[in-house]
Amino acid sequence: MDRSSYLKQIRQTIERGSFKDDWESLSRFEVPQWYKQAKFGIFIHWGLYSVPAYDSEWYSRNMYIQDSKAYNHHIETYGKHADFGYKDFIPMFTADKFDASEWANLFKQAGARYVMPVAEHHDGFQMYKSEVSTYNAFDRGPKRDLLGEMKQAFDEKELVLCASSHRAEHWFFMSHGKEFESDIREPLEIGDFYWPAAPEPDHHDLFSPAPSEEFLEDWLIRTCEIVDVYQPKVMYFDWWIQHSAFKPYLKTFAAYYYNKGEEWGTPVAINYKHDAYMFGSAVPDVERGQFAELKPYYWQTDTAVAKNSWCYTEGNDYKASVEIIRDLVDIVSKNGNLLLNVGPKADGSIPEEDRQILLDIGAWLHANGEAIYDSTYWRISGEGPTQIVEGQFTDGETKRYTSEDIRFTLKGSTLYATVLVYPENGRVAIRSLKSDSHHFAGLIRKIGVLGFKEKVNWERTSEALILQTESIASSVPVVFKIELD
């Protein structure tokens, strides 16, 4: 690739487009309607780290940290790092059981509306055909354009293709391999798999030293190449792009990408963390966490089916599917989307545990999806005693919801009240809809329950809207459909 020519092309696209690379112009961004209606997407962490399937998707970094768990495991399993380094996993990454159509069918059954594969993780291996580097899945390993195959299969199932880039952290991700005799040796040049392997920032000062201009331009080129070739409708950026050195490049990319969306006639969006983007210029993402209250702005949480890792590792600690369903309802009621990660094995097969969780979610959405898809928030997100711990990395503990925990979504004149834990006696009291409620003083015309044919007996008192069912028993959330007047 002629890098200077490509950078010039990026600049020309911005010059002729309506979005410019400044915060004032980028603040005109509007969250796409299709994205706000979709509510539920699938994240995919799949790459070279799926071969060792040990520790986590950070294996490429941790295996070079002397005396770490991954370092010792690597020596015991594969030998010394000088003889078998991370690059030697490339021929072992065969993807011989990968079938994009099977993935698409499963994600469709799960009720997902968009899918976001990690196009490049911190390890620097591209999961797509690239002109930037030969260290990609088309030129090496499986020798297939994996992202391209996904795009075709997802398009056929009307699943929106999105993409994630975690390239930013590659600036320092492989650096510990320089501290002892390993396969990471100087000189490293642009285009090398391990380049640049710069010193890792001290945890007391995560933003020093700054990445070089050469690395930042390479980041921009790689990211724009994904946009140009695969036309993802959302681009997700992981941690460390909030570094001040990235700011000019983040603005350049956003202007380029938003202008490209206008050229395609399809609105696009960017997901970001940690104030990498100016508020209002993209969609904020909360990693492995939620908000305690309804937000007036649109947001997303990304989490995984496993508590311990994003990628497949042997012995993953899986969440219960009902736990994820309850979180989905809570997130949507607070004006957000859920991006749920699965971790395929190195051969491209999806573990049975991941598959079953997705099918369980899909079964619930098949019966109750009208309360989720195309919905919006109500005056309040819900009621009940369970307090949500707000912020990132708060999903390690299972939330202890009760039958009093209810979440609301709205579609036109229909209010959906989802009871997160259905009571055995079938009696539900919605205090927010009592007769003199300041949340809703209008009339209730009709009440039904999704997925069940049973009639709902109800009365509205000064204490609550009392709902009574006789035979409904459910281990998953139950949705009442309340028609307002």
CA distance 12 to 6: 10
Nearest to 46 by CA among 130, 111, 116: 116
Q: 188 and 108, same structural domain?
A: yes
- Considering the entire predicted model, what is its pTM? 0.97
Q: 394 and 363, same structural domain?
A: no
**Domain end among 348, 371, 394:** 371
Q: Can you give the pLDDT of all 485 residues of the chain as single tens digits?
A: 899 999 999 999 999 999 999 999 999 999 999 999 999 999 999 999 999 999 999 999 999 999 999 999 999 999 999 999 999 999 999 999 999 999 999 999 999 999 999 999 999 999 999 999 999 999 999 999 999 999 999 999 999 999 999 999 999 999 999 999 999 998 999 989 999 999 998 876 777 789 999 999 999 999 999 999 999 999 999 999 999 999 999 999 999 999 999 999 999 999 999 999 999 999 999 999 999 999 999 999 999 999 999 999 999 999 999 999 999 999 999 999 999 999 999 999 999 999 999 999 999 999 999 999 999 999 999 999 999 999 999 998 899 999 999 999 999 999 999 999 999 999 999 999 999 999 998 999 999 999 999 999 999 999 999 999 999 999 999 999 999 99
Is 276 within 8 Å of 270 (Cβ atoms)? no
Q: 477 and 361, same structural domain?
A: no
Write the CB contacts of 298 (distance below 8 Å, at least 6 apart in sequence): 31, 35, 36, 283, 335, 336, 337
Residue 424 placed within a domain:
yes
| Alpha-carbon torsion angle 339, 271, 176, 72, nearest 10 | 0
Q: What is the CATH number of the domain that holds 190?
A: 3.20.20.80
Q: Which residues pair with 236 in a beta bridge?
A: 164, 271
Q: 242 and 129, same structural domain?
A: yes
| Alpha-carbon torsion angle 260, 132, 103, 144, nearest 10 | 130
Write the CB contacts of 420 (distance below 8 Å, at least 6 apart in sequence): 326, 329, 330, 384, 401, 402, 405, 406, 407, 477
What are the φ and ψ backbone dihedral angles of 29, each rounded to 5 degrees?
-55, 140
Quote the pLDDT of residue 203.
72
Q: 412 and 359, same structural domain?
A: no
Q: 239 and 106, same structural domain?
A: yes
Q: What does the DSSP 8-state code read for residue 295? A: -
User: Rounded to whole angstroms, what are the CA distances from 46 to 43, 53, 117, 124, 191?
Assistant: 10, 10, 8, 13, 22
Q: What is the CATH number of the domain that holds 394?
A: 2.60.40.1180
Residue 272 placed within a domain:
yes
CA 466 to chain CA mean position, Å:
38
Q: 322 and 389, same structural domain?
A: no
Q: 410 and 334, same structural domain?
A: no
Q: 438 and 328, same structural domain?
A: no
Residue 460 placed within a domain:
yes
What is the domain count for the chain?
2
Q: What does the DSSP 8-state code read for residue 80? A: -
**Domain end among 352, 371, 390:** 371
Q: Regarding beta strands 406-411 and 414-419, do their DSSP bridges make them parallel or antiparallel, or are they unpaired?
A: antiparallel
Is 211 within 8 Å of 171 (Cβ atoms)? yes
Residue 376 placed within a domain:
no
CA distance 258 to 250: 12
Q: Which residues pair with 417 in a beta bridge?
A: 408, 480
Residue 395 placed within a domain:
yes
Quote the pLDDT of residue 209.
81
Q: 110 and 12, same structural domain?
A: yes
Please provide the DSSP assignment of 225-268 as one string. Answer: HHHHHH--SEEEE-TTTTSGGGHHHHHHHHHHHHHHHHHHTS--
Residue 377 placed within a domain:
no
Residue 293 placed within a domain:
yes
**Domain end among 371, 403, 431:** 371
Quote the pLDDT of residue 58.
98
Q: 235 and 128, same structural domain?
A: yes
Quote the pLDDT of residue 393.
93
Q: 300 and 200, same structural domain?
A: yes
Range of the structural domain that residue 467 is part of:
382-484
